[in-house]
Structure 1
Amino acid sequence: MTFSWWTFALFSAGFAALTAILAKVGVRGVDSDLATAIRTVVILVLAWGIVLARGATAGLPQLSGRSWLFLVLSGLATGASWLCYFRALQLGPVSKVAPVDKLSLALTLVLAVGFLGETLTWRGALGAGLILAGTLVLLKS
């Protein structure tokens, strides 16, 4: 059975929502950097377990220097995001932190246009604007 990108995106959203709730509970009384490190080890073991189980390590020798560079940079950005996210969860309510974190959707649209040359349609611009407006509304509540 194969799933479309849409199915995986919905699962991603669901797991991201669970992540926020579970992390908020888990970070209570724990240093946010330590909590991030624990989460990272769990993800590391899970991801490599999946790669090994599927035999996907065969693709390692074919990775170009450019792929390595951008995957490492992406990993650094992910790590920085997680460190900031866990600290924000520790300091603020998840009902405020999560919407601000999701501003990444609107920022991604802008960056995709600027760096990847993707086209921003009026619907995309409207969606990004609604995300920004929705975040502001949620922050004021």
Structure 2
Amino acid sequence: MENWILFSILSMIFAGITSILAKFGLKDISAEAGLGVRTAVIFSIITFICLKNDTIKEIQTLSKPQFGFLVLSGIATSLSWIFYYKAIKEGLVSYVSAIDKGSIVITVLLSFWLLGEPISLKIILGTCFITAGMLILVWK
């Protein structure tokens, strides 16, 4: 198995666990407070890993466009998680998670348009199935 596949599977598993743990953690506190704790933990872990692996120095080698794109990615991530935490605080995690995974469709479309990644029938069908599954899960 290629590394990227293993990393993707691990990401999927931990992302699923994350939502459940967050729902428990948000009991009797605001979404913002919960997200603040989560983000502080993430920052600490990533900083430790960068310092341990001596990769923190790579930040100095970033071009202005690279830095700008990473900052924009951080802003998009922040907005995504702010709204996600507000949604799971008020709604059912299973529904919120299903809608949130609609981001896959946006990612696929943008990967074709902006990154020039190849379009295949398999990707189109898979994206359609993801969309259909999301709609079925949230249909009232």
TM-score range (shorter-chain normalised) is over 0.9
Report the Cα distance in structure 2 between the residues aligned to 1:103 and 1:68, rounded to whole angstroms: 27
Tell whether 2:65 aligns with 1:58: no
State the AA in 2 paired with 1:27: L
The residue number in structure 2 matching 1:84 is: 83
Deviations 1:4-56 (A, max 9, x none): 11111110000000001001111121111111111111100000000101111
Question: Secondary structure of the residue that 1:116 maps to in structure 2?
Answer: coil
State the AA in 2 paired with 1:83: I
Tell whether 2:23 aligns with 1:36: no
Report the Cα distance in structure 2 between the residues aligned to 1:71 and 1:82, rounded to whole angstroms: 16
Give structure 2 stretches of 5+ with no counterpart. none
State the AA in 2 paired with 1:127: G
1:64-103 pair list within 5 angstroms: 64-103=63-102
Structure 1 length normalisation: TM-score? 0.94
Tell whether 2:122 aligns with 1:126: no
The residue number in structure 2 matching 1:48 is: 47
Deviation at 1:79, TM superposition (A): 0.3
Question: Secondary structure of the residue that 2:114 maps to in structure 1?
Answer: helix
Identity %: 36
Report the Cα distance in structure 1 between the residues aligned to 2:112 and 2:4, rounded to whole angstroms: 20
The residue number in structure 2 matching 1:23 is: 22
Q: Which moved more, 1:14-23 or 1:131-140?
A: 131-140
Report the Cα distance in structure 2 between the residues aligned to 1:30 and 1:104, rounded to whole angstroms: 27
When the two chains are superposed, the root-mean-square deviation of aligned CA atoms in Å is 1.2
The list of structure 1 runs, each at least 4 consecutive aligned residues, that deviate by more than 3 angstroms after superposition, is none
State the AA in 2 paired with 1:59: E
Number of residue pairs matched by the alignment: 139
Deviation at 1:90, TM superposition (A): 0.7
Equivalent residues of 1:109, 1:120 under 8 A apart? no
